Chains A and B, each alone.
Chain A
Amino acid sequence: MRINEVELSWFRGAADPISLDLGCKSMVVYGENGSGKSSFVDAVEYALRGGKIGHLCHEYSGKHQEKAVINTHTPEGSSIGVRIGFQGGSELKTEIKRNGSFVSAGGEAARISTWEYQRTILRQDELANFIRETKGDKYSALLPLLGLHEMEVAAENLRQLAKAVEQQAKLKETKASLTAIDVKRKATFGAATGGEIAKRIQDLHAKYCEPTAATTDLLSQCDETEAALTARIKRFSAEEKQHLVLVDISGSELGAHVKAVRAAGLKLAGEVEPLVSERLEVLESAATFSDRLGVEEQIVCPACGQRISADEFRAHVKREKVRLQKTIDAFNILKQARAKLYDTLKTLKSNLQKTDIKSWREDAARKSLDDGFAYADKLDAEKLRTSCGEDGLKSIEDNLLPIIRAASSAARTGPADVSQLSADKDVIAACKALADRKEISGAVKSAETLISFLSDVEQAVRDNIRLRSKQVIGDISEDIRGMWGILHPDEKIEGIRLYLPEQTDKAIDIGLSFFGVKQDSPRLTLSEGHRNSLGLCIFLAMAKREAAADRPLILDDVVVSFDRGHRGMIVELLEKEFKERQIIIMTHDREWYAELRQQLDSASWKFKALRPYERPDIGIRWSDKEFSFDDARALLKTSPDSAGNTARKIMDIELSLHAEGMKVRLPYLHRERNDHRMAHDFLSQLISDGVKCFKKMENGKPAPFTEAVETFREADRLVLSWGNKASHSFDIVATEAAKLITACEKMLQVLTCPSCGKAVHRLEDKGAELVQCQCGHLKWLYSKA
């Protein structure tokens, strides 16, 4: 789909409606800096990105772009907007309101929104973007070209599903409970085998249960024994019940848990802990948010409405997580230690508040523990779960450890059978936990198998993606090498290729050979100019992949850092690779513009020049000629010498190209002076040759074109006097500069045929020496001279 026309109304630099009339052809637009070229590019970007222009800084894009998109001097009541006409007559019309919101109408909104910006528009400052981007960003940029969207979505869903299984199976918690059961088994049974444990349970069953109970199933034996023990405890005297609670208290491992929290706390500097905690919390939320994002999705920044690539966001979260991994591990250990301390304190507090030990607490002999009891009663264990500094740990030790010691001491002197009964109860509890262990272990293994399966299927899909990516990337690399070869023939930068780094998913990088030495990145050795050139090749190679879509390519001032030799090769590249595509080139380089006018086929290319920008209320304006002295005219009032000097420079460029096209032979000069010919050199030769060679058809016969030669003479006279004056002595006045400009303009005009509109030049296909305009009305007849 080609663009027929882009019309701007008070959009960016435009004032009253101004149209870039492409007529579905390719076009080169010349305009000096600030003349408004990029406003047309912005308009296309605005349409294809649904109201966003990437180069506008963050705060002036998205919801606040009314400050940047609308002409600052838009009169009240004026209609603001962009209209893009397409081949076949359809159009997309966007009306922009004063507050920056917009409404689009026309059937092409959906179609243009499918144009990838990265494969449609290339701006000067974006040339090396691809090279600068991270490997992940490079992958994201190429992803739509790989045609692997479905696989990417599937792989991502599989990854998320594995995580969801882990969460739903409560894998971490369940595994932690398995570890706790193992610890309990070791503490209760030591290294006893399953048979030995079973024997112990049978013995306890026989000890506490009625002899009539003939249960042989181990788990049932545990249940029956537990019930018998509970019944006995219920029948305990107050003294026995008190003793039982004291045994429980004495078994508390509070001291060990306090030490564990202290040790873990040392790993994290106390002063940075809140900061780390806060940061991890933010990171955790960001990671959860990032996990929920889909492939190629974009995130809307809640602060300003700017859209950010989801991949960019994910990569950032991943980097942060890796960076903080050690801290995360240390922090988790501390959290676990605190959780254990919290559980122990909770149990201890509950035991201390039991009425069974009320009299023990109130005993006068334990007066010294009153502060500890008061501390325990007021203790908010929940608070300690999240934060507990050294002071808190010290208080716990000072207040509660003496109570545990006192309870241990009292427990030692209690009734022996109560202690035994308590120990037996523990054995039964540990055995029942072991029974649960098998079931828990089975569930863990099942969940782990499922997760492993999902992860392996994800990996298989990613391997598939990799395999197919390699093929596409290989094709693109071949195109890049071909294009680079056109722009840089015989240069020792070779073997340029995109490649998938080993062991990394969703990543692409660029490799090359620099004077025979392999390089992993162009950044290592390439100059800025070469990087930009490579950036252009990569952009064009990617754009070529979408050749079937026949979308326009827009190159906005992309040759700034190219030297003349490399710049000249771009035409060859475009003609070879993109002959069928619509290309829009914006440039402020007058010399290149003139070259392009000479080199590109006018059947498929149009050329337009913009006038220098004067004021926002006048806006962007077209020059009425392809070659334009408007830049010079714009300076007449304020700086006549600059106007004269600009006119002379324009003549240097235009005449060198005309002379080349007409094969004008200049006398040989000493060495490098041959490369620095000026307008006067060309004019002198044109005057000398023109008298004999320049003819125009009159009554079917070529007749000397003497008026033309007169314009050469007049231009040469004024260039020599006032042009050089403007360049060297700066005392030219406005009227003189104006006369110089008019003379130069007139001189160049006569080289263009009034009938066919083409300049006199050598016709390649009509014999080496035939120099004329396209229709033959004007001729430059060397052979007959």
Chain B
Amino acid sequence: MPEEESWAVRCIEKVHESQPEVNETVVNRLRDLLVGQMCERPFRPSELVNTAKTLITDMATDSSHKAVSPHED
């Protein structure tokens, strides 16, 4: 594993261990970003917006935080 990949992957995995509620789709996407363009240059505002939207959608994909019944206390 190349050096830049190893530190990025280690960081993500370490955090994921303590936050398992974050789903694999998000973790995998962030890992790909972190070993790629995210450490190459600062993101442009449009890239940040698009990535943020994608991650929010990813979270909803198989998130455990879906609404169930509207009147559960």
- Whether the pair A161, B51 counts as a contact (CB closer than 8 A) is yes
Cα A30 to Cα B70 in complex, Å, equals 85
Report B18-58 CB contacts with A as 1/0, cut-off 8 Å.
11011000100010001000111111010011011101100
Specify which chain B residues have a CB less than 8 angstroms from the CB of A450 in the assembled complex. Answer: 22, 26, 55-56, 59
Report A426-465 CB contacts with B as 1/0, cut-off 8 Å.
0000000011111101110111011011101100110010
Specify which chain A residues have a CB less than 8 angstroms from the CB of B39 in the assembled complex. Answer: 150-151, 153-154, 157
- Whether the pair B63, A446 counts as a contact (CB closer than 8 A) is yes
With A218-B71, A449-B59 as known contacts, state yes or no: A461 contacts B48, CB within 8 Å. Answer: no
With CB as the reference atom, state the residue of chain B lying closest to A440.
B67
Cα A450 to Cα B53 in complex, Å, equals 11
In chain A, positions 123-180 with a C-beta closer than 8 Å to chain B are 150-151, 153-154, 156-158, 160-161, 163-165, 167-169
With A151-B39, A194-B73, A460-B14 as known contacts, state yes or no: A169 contacts B56, CB within 8 Å. Answer: yes
- Whether the pair A150, B63 counts as a contact (CB closer than 8 A) is no
Specify which chain A residues have a CB less than 8 angstroms from the CB of B42 in the assembled complex. Answer: 153, 156-157, 160, 292-295, 297
With A164-B51, A165-B55, A456-B19 as known contacts, state yes or no: A157 contacts B71, CB within 8 Å. Answer: no
Specify which chain B residues have a CB less than 8 angstroms from the CB of A198 in the assembled complex. Answer: 71
Query: Given B7, B41, B43, B68, which contacts A161 in the complex, CB threshold below 8 Å?
Result: B43
- Whether the pair A446, B72 counts as a contact (CB closer than 8 A) is no
Cα A457 to Cα B22 in complex, Å, equals 12
- Whether the pair A164, B68 counts as a contact (CB closer than 8 A) is no
- Whether the pair B45, A292 counts as a contact (CB closer than 8 A) is yes
CB distance from A160 to the nearest CB of B (A): 5
Specify which chain A residues have a CB less than 8 angstroms from the CB of B53 in the assembled complex. Answer: 168
- Whether the pair B7, A464 counts as a contact (CB closer than 8 A) is yes
CB distance from A571 to the nearest CB of B (A): 40
Cα A702 to Cα B55 in complex, Å, equals 91
- Whether the pair B15, A460 counts as a contact (CB closer than 8 A) is yes
Interface presence of A197 (CB below 8 A): yes
Specify which chain B residues have a CB less than 8 angstroms from the CB of A441 in the assembled complex. Answer: 67
CB distance from B22 to the nearest CB of A (A): 5
Cα A294 to Cα B47 in complex, Å, equals 13
Cα A456 to Cα B18 in complex, Å, equals 10
- Whether the pair B72, A194 counts as a contact (CB closer than 8 A) is yes
CB distance from B67 to the nearest CB of A (A): 4
- Whether the pair B71, A164 counts as a contact (CB closer than 8 A) is no
With A157-B38, A453-B26 as known contacts, state yes or no: A447 contacts B70, CB within 8 Å. Answer: no
- Whether the pair A446, B67 counts as a contact (CB closer than 8 A) is no
Cα A218 to Cα B8 in complex, Å, equals 48
- Whether the pair A150, B4 counts as a contact (CB closer than 8 A) is yes
- Whether the pair A167, B70 counts as a contact (CB closer than 8 A) is no
Query: Given A436, A442, A446, A464, which contacts B11 in the complex, CB threshold below 8 Å?
Result: A464
Cα A464 to Cα B35 in complex, Å, equals 15
CB distance from B51 to the nearest CB of A (A): 6
Interface of A is mostly: helix
- Whether the pair A167, B52 counts as a contact (CB closer than 8 A) is yes
Interface presence of A114 (CB below 8 A): no
Specify which chain B residues have a CB less than 8 angstroms from the CB of A157 in the assembled complex. Answer: 38-39, 42-43, 48
CB distance from B65 to the nearest CB of A (A): 5
Cα A164 to Cα B56 in complex, Å, equals 10
- Whether the pair A154, B71 counts as a contact (CB closer than 8 A) is no
Cα A293 to Cα B73 in complex, Å, equals 45
Cα A764 to Cα B71 in complex, Å, equals 97
Specify which chain A residues have a CB less than 8 angstroms from the CB of B21 in the assembled complex. Answer: 449
Cα A450 to Cα B56 in complex, Å, equals 8
Interface size range on A against B: 35 or more
Specify which chain A residues have a CB less than 8 angstroms from the CB of B49 in the assembled complex. Answer: 164, 167-168
- Whether the pair B71, A194 counts as a contact (CB closer than 8 A) is yes
Cα A457 to Cα B33 in complex, Å, equals 12
Specify which chain A residues have a CB less than 8 angstroms from the CB of B11 in the assembled complex. Answer: 457, 460-461, 464
- Whether the pair A164, B52 counts as a contact (CB closer than 8 A) is yes
- Whether the pair B41, A294 counts as a contact (CB closer than 8 A) is yes
- Whether the pair B69, A442 counts as a contact (CB closer than 8 A) is no
- Whether the pair B41, A193 counts as a contact (CB closer than 8 A) is no
- Whether the pair B38, A154 counts as a contact (CB closer than 8 A) is yes
- Whether the pair A446, B60 counts as a contact (CB closer than 8 A) is yes
With CB as the reference atom, state the residue of chain B lying closest to A198.
B71
Specify which chain B residues have a CB less than 8 angstroms from the CB of A168 in the assembled complex. Answer: 49, 52-53, 56
- Whether the pair A218, B26 counts as a contact (CB closer than 8 A) is no
- Whether the pair A442, B48 counts as a contact (CB closer than 8 A) is no
Interface presence of A317 (CB below 8 A): no
Report A86-115 CB contacts with B as 1/0, cut-off 8 Å.
000000000000000000000000000000
Specify which chain B residues have a CB less than 8 angstroms from the CB of A219 in the assembled complex. Answer: 70
Cα A437 to Cα B38 in complex, Å, equals 35
CB distance from B59 to the nearest CB of A (A): 5
With CB as the reference atom, state the residue of chain B lying closest to A218.
B71
- Whether the pair B71, A197 counts as a contact (CB closer than 8 A) is yes
Specify which chain A residues have a CB less than 8 angstroms from the CB of B66 in the assembled complex. Answer: 442
Cα A483 to Cα B73 in complex, Å, equals 69
Specify which chain A residues have a CB less than 8 angstroms from the CB of B15 in the assembled complex. Answer: 453, 456-457, 460
CB distance from A520 to the nearest CB of B (A): 31
With CB as the reference atom, state the residue of chain A lying closest to B11.
A460
Cα A156 to Cα B45 in complex, Å, equals 13
- Whether the pair B65, A442 counts as a contact (CB closer than 8 A) is yes
CB distance from B69 to the nearest CB of A (A): 7
With CB as the reference atom, state the residue of chain B lying closest to A201.
B71
With CB as the reference atom, state the residue of chain A lying closest to B45.
A292
With CB as the reference atom, state the residue of chain B lying closest to A467.
B7
- Whether the pair A434, B71 counts as a contact (CB closer than 8 A) is yes
Cα A156 to Cα B34 in complex, Å, equals 11
Cα A457 to Cα B48 in complex, Å, equals 16
Specify which chain A residues have a CB less than 8 angstroms from the CB of B73 in the assembled complex. Answer: 193-194
Specify which chain B residues have a CB less than 8 angstroms from the CB of A456 in the assembled complex. Answer: 15, 18-19
With CB as the reference atom, state the residue of chain A lying closest to B12.
A457
- Whether the pair A438, B68 counts as a contact (CB closer than 8 A) is yes
With A164-B52, A460-B11 as known contacts, state yes or no: A438 contacts B70, CB within 8 Å. Answer: yes
Query: Given B26, B38, B45, which contacts A153 in the complex, CB threshold below 8 Å?
Result: B38
The 9 closest A-B pairs by CB, nearest first: A294-B42, A435-B70, A164-B52, A460-B11, A194-B73, A154-B39, A150-B39, A164-B48, A439-B67
**6 extra interface residue pairs, beta carbon distance < 8 Å, beyond A150-B39, A435-B71, A449-B65:** A153-B40, A438-B70, A441-B67, A443-B65, A454-B55, A461-B8
- 12 sample A-B contacts, Cβ–Cβ < 8 Å, listed by A number: A154-B34, A156-B42, A164-B49, A164-B52, A165-B55, A218-B71, A435-B71, A438-B68, A450-B55, A457-B34, A460-B12, A461-B11
